[in-house]
Amino acid sequence: MISLLKQHYHNLQDAIQNLPLNELLLSPDEETQLRSQKIDQLIEHETSLLDAGVGERLRQEFYSWGPLCSLMDDEAVTEILVNGPDKIWFEKNGCLQEHQDGFLSEISFRNCIERLSQAAKCFITVEHPSADSSFGDFRLSLIGADLTQNHAHLSLRRHPKNPWTFERLKAHQWCDEASIEFFKNLIQKKKNFLVIGSTGSGKTSVLNSLLNLLPANERVVVIEDTSEIALSNNASMKLLTREDPQGILPSIDQTQLVKRSLRLRPDRLVMGEVRGAEAKDFLMALATGHAGSFGTLHAQDPQQALIRLEMLIQMGAPQWNLTAIRRLIQLSLDYILVAGREPSGLRIFKGAYRLCSLEDHGFLVEPLDLTSSGKTLEHL
């Protein structure tokens, strides 16, 4: 199939290259329009002689996303990774697999990247060789060849159309009924917490599920780099960071958004991912009246999460000593929830931990036995 497609593709490329130049002394715009019409006619003629499936795939190479079309249309595909024209991988049902299709030439690969950049308004330059944006149902990340020393790299992560709920997570064996009861109590009693886990462990899905537990009359302000979290009600709102690779507009980071959010009358703050100096302002907000707030943090376990949190706060307050940083964490954070991922790709809830006290050597963290729901809920 691939070899047949490549043969027809190269036939078309040869025909396009041999199209006559501006013999009629047309204006540049008229010449471009005429050339586009002739190219369309060539493609239409070539594909009309082929099997319907082959013809459609060839059109996709010229007009759409080429071999990525079938992956984008498959709702079960959660992530697409493109390392080059013939190096395409995708995640489906939690497992990474190699795509059996590929771009038919280096030219069509570059053209597809250009079309995606235009559609997502995600442009890279020599000064800014990487960029992130949203594209339809996907979060798009693009890295130029200057950084990869080979081909441009493209990553597409699908946003779920239907926000996750704990009932859906339970049906996917992520957690049990006792855990769901614990999460409901966390929300009702307005405890502050972080959801932690490694890349792809489902932290954002957990955040969406938690938001579904919120009362309809509570105003939540969500802060994100890329829009992935669904708002819980019409009273809530979202703030997104801004980065302009062209350098025309000033960048707006999460630290600025946290400060802005405090003027928007939030009942709760939700941080898509704590990843920088905004950790200091976010935890200060939690410690001074915004109970029931939560966010995610990239870490494997509670101890690693707390160490990383200390480092991030220090980025925002380098003049603070470790004692002051730990006191802030103690005042602002009640629990840590751990999301995990099995080697099989199955995502699971690995447990909840309570920050008991701050000792001379660091935090004392207690794992909770959620099967003893009565005893556990007394801690809340």
Give the pLDDT confidence of 262-321 residue by residue, as tens digits: 999 999 999 999 999 999 999 999 998 899 999 999 999 999 999 999 999 999 999 999
Q: What is the DSSP string of 112-172?
A: HHHHHHHHHT----SSS-EEEEEETTEEEEEE-HHHHSSS-EEEEEEPPSS---HHHHHHT
Q: What is the pLDDT of residues 356-366, one digit of tens each?
A: 999 988 899 99
pLDDT at 53 over 90: no
Query: Both 59 and 69 in a single domain?
Result: no
Return d(Cα 206, Cα 166) in angstroms, integer.
8
CATH number of the domain where residue 86 is located: 3.30.450.370
Query: Both 118 and 176 in a single domain?
Result: no
pLDDT at 70 over 80: yes
The domain tally of the chain equals 3
pLDDT at position 106: 92
Query: Both 118 and 183 in a single domain?
Result: no
39: its two tokens: 């190219």
Q: What is the pLDDT of residues 91-141, one digit of tens each?
A: 998 889 999 999 999 999 999 999 999 999 888 888 888 888 888 889 899
User: Using an 8 Å Cβ cutoff, are 10 and 107 in contact?
Assistant: no
β-bridge pairing 77-84 and 153-158: antiparallel
pLDDT at position 373: 45
Query: Both 365 and 250 in a single domain?
Result: yes
**Reduced to 3 states, what is the DSSP secondary structure of residue 287?**
helix
Would you tell me how many other CB atoms lie within 10 Å of the CB of residue 58? 21
User: Could you say which of 159, 178, 196 is where a domain stops?
Assistant: 159
Return d(Cα 100, Cα 88) in angstroms, integer.
8
22: phi then psi, degrees, rounded to nearest 5: -75, 85
β-bridge pairing 237-240 and 347-359: unpaired
310: Cβ contacts below 8 Å, ≥ 6 apart? 322, 325, 326, 329
User: Using an 8 Å Cβ cutoff, are 274 and 311 in contact?
Assistant: no
Return d(Cα 262, Cα 169) in angstroms, integer.
32
Query: Cβ-count burial of 183 within 10 angstroms (0-12 exposed, 13-18 middle, 19+ buried)?
Result: buried
pLDDT at 213 over 60: yes
Query: Both 214 and 140 in a single domain?
Result: no
User: Could you say which of 135, 159, 183 is where a domain stops?
Assistant: 159
Query: Both 204 and 131 in a single domain?
Result: no
β-bridge pairing 220-224 and 268-271: parallel
10: phi then psi, degrees, rounded to nearest 5: -70, -35
116: its two tokens: 């995606």
Query: Both 16 and 124 in a single domain?
Result: no
Across the range 352-359, mean pLDDT stands at: 94
pLDDT at position 350: 94
Higher pLDDT, 39 or 171: 171
Query: Both 93 and 197 in a single domain?
Result: no
pLDDT at position 123: 86
Least confident interval from 91-95, 179-183, 237-241, 253-257: 91-95
Q: Which of 141, 284, 255, 131 minimizes the C-alpha distance to 199?
A: 141
Query: Both 13 and 133 in a single domain?
Result: no
Start-to-end CA span in the chain (Å): 60
pLDDT at 236 over 90: yes
Across the range 21-41, mean pLDDT stands at: 66
pLDDT at position 23: 55
Percentage of residues of the chain with pLDDT beyond 90: 56
Q: For residue 27, what are the domain limits? A: 1-63
pLDDT at position 343: 83
User: Could you say which of 108, 130, 159 is where a domain stops?
Assistant: 159
> pTM here?
0.80
Across the range 76-99, mean pLDDT stands at: 93
pLDDT at position 88: 97
